[in-house]
Chains A and B, each alone.
Chain A
Amino acid sequence: MTELVRTRVPRPHWLLLVPALALLGVVLLLPLAQSFLRSVGAPDLTDEHYTSLFTDGVTMRVLLRTVKTALLVTVIAFAFGYPYAYVMTRVGPRMRAILLVIVLVPFWTSVMARNFAWILILQRGGPVDQFFSLFGLHVVLYGKVSGVAIAMSQVLLPFMVLPLFSALGGIDRRLLLAARGLGSSPVAAFWKIYWPLSRAGVTAGLILVFTLSLGFYVTPALLGTPQQSLIAQLLAQRTTQLLDFEGAGALGIVVLLITLVLVAWANRIGGTVSAIGVVATSGTKEAR
């Protein structure tokens, strides 16, 4: 019988991928390839645009500052993210969903509104300044690397919290109770049992936040100063002000490679790259 109804059972078809790949090709892959070819001086190959990144005296200094800022961002995100993810594993499902939505709020609020708000808060005479002036201190984080880092961490926290939540959620708490029952102190139980078990999630979260913060442009441009510019600002400046497309292409390719390598590493450890997409779209799905 089934032979008679020789049907075209609709199989998923490779052709369906063509429009998406074409779109990506035009917008991302082809421009990347063009910029790359340009940066190596095709058709006459040269590496001068790459070597000058190391020798021009500016790029490396800015890169170092970017790495320092990214480390600060990562530390702040970890300081809030670890306890936050831990508590998420300890509360009921409803509270957990609320906590997840809260951590995703900055991610889906308007980039410009968020950065404008940080300008208001951190500026001279702003709420932070006023608060500290009660103690006779003068704290203006606007125009400082620390202010930039605080604003960046706020939006990057989901990338810390979600991998951590999935790692911490898988830890059997009875191990801790067992340790306590055998006479261990809470601190020792945490360090000897909980912390090692959470390390994969920790590493994945740290790498993800660090990596994503390397490419931030709007926040340092608005909250920082040109004298303290980060790598993304340098890239923009080379492109639109100096019209040095070869140099910008070379720097862009290097930044992209660093990013991809780090993300691939995080993916290997925590299995969380699609986390980035999931972070964005999941909403409460993850929490239930």
Chain B
Amino acid sequence: MTTTSEVTAPAAAPARRRSRGVDAVPWWLRLVVAVGALYFVLPTLFVIPMSFSESTTFSFPPKGFSLDLYRNFFTDPVWLTSLRNSFFVAVVAALLATVVGTAAAVGLHNLTGRLARLARTVLMISIVTPGIVIAVVVYISFLKWHLVGTFAGYVLAHAAIGMPFVLVSVTSALSGFDSKLLRASASLGAPPLRTFARVTMPLISRGIATGAVFAFVTSFDEVVIALFLRSPTFQTLPVQMYNSVTFEVDPTIAATSSLVVSAVTVVCLVPLLLGSRRKNR
């Protein structure tokens, strides 16, 4: 009875739910898992009470209750400009990453063989490359190309690190895609581009949207490369947050953190919900 709902689960164990005492999950394991779950989720929540503090230091627990830090954030041109820069960089970088990433995923779909595998590995490489290594070599080369501190420099770098997420999510959307549809469309006279726009695109649109969201968040939150590419005239929000901890000791970061955490949570929940709706279809 209970097992029917668990048929799709990867675990092979039958009838886990009403397990007999001999095979139960012991209480101390549940405790470890509960502590672990708190360890993953709880720390970040500390920024929320802090964001209503009246204090001008980082001392915790916060003193008093005020909206001063939020007022700082929304009136200080430095914070607002950083936010605007981050937003526009992330939008353009996500757009670029989504277009090239989707093209690559479609191109790689159904391709097998050593060369295709190599191409896939190369395209995924920025995911395993330490951020600091990318930041350093990008900085050295971009300095020569006059891209440091420019909008274009930020967009290029962030698009490149966001692209693998698009590749992964579009590839996974394509895995359920029936290529006979392409043949059908072509045999009815549609040129490849129209086939893509009318047949392929609508069927993988969720994968593309998910990838775009992740590329946006990757760029919006990226700090290591951004620290190297910053200039006095152009910096992003994470860089300003970094400054506020290291140079300024400005608790406005607490308000910023709360806002960013809430925003990213909402943005990340969207693809999860989209994903689960697709599963339930």
Contact = CB atoms under 8 A, between A and B. Distances in A.
A123 B62 CA distance: 13
Contact of B165 (A20, A34, A166, A277): A277
B146 interface: no
Chain B interface size, as a band, is 35 or more
Given A24-B163, A110-B238, A117 B46 contact: yes
A87 B46 contact: no
B172 A285 contact: yes
A38 interface: yes
B106 interface: yes
A110 B140 contact: no
B60 A276 contact: no
B55 to A, nearest CB: 12
Contacts of A278: 168
Interface in B206-228: 210-211, 214, 217, 221-224, 227-228
Given A169-B11, A263-B128, A119 B40 contact: no
Contact of A108 (B35, B39, B245, B264): B264
Given A23-B159, A112-B257, A235-B133, A93 B140 contact: no
A19 B25 CA distance: 51
A112 B17 CA distance: 40
A20 B163 contact: yes
A284 B40 contact: no
B178 to A, nearest CB: 14
Interface residues of A, number: 108
Contact of A277 (B2, B41, B164, B241): B164
A106 B241 CA distance: 18
Given A110-B260, A154-B39, A24 B128 contact: no
Contact of A35 (B119, B141, B163, B276): B141
Interface of A: 2, 5, 7-10, 12-17, 19-21, 23-24, 26-28, 30-32, 34-35, 38, 80, 83-84, 86-87, 89-93, 96, 99, 101-103, 105-106, 108-121, 123, 125-127, 154, 157, 166, 168-174, 176-177, 180, 211-212, 214-218, 221-222, 232, 235-236, 239-240, 245, 248-249, 252, 255-256, 259-260, 263, 273-274, 276-278, 280-281, 283-285, 288
User: Which 6 interchain pairs have the tightest Cβ spacing?
Assistant: A215-B130, A16-B107, A113-B257, A27-B160, A31-B141, A20-B104
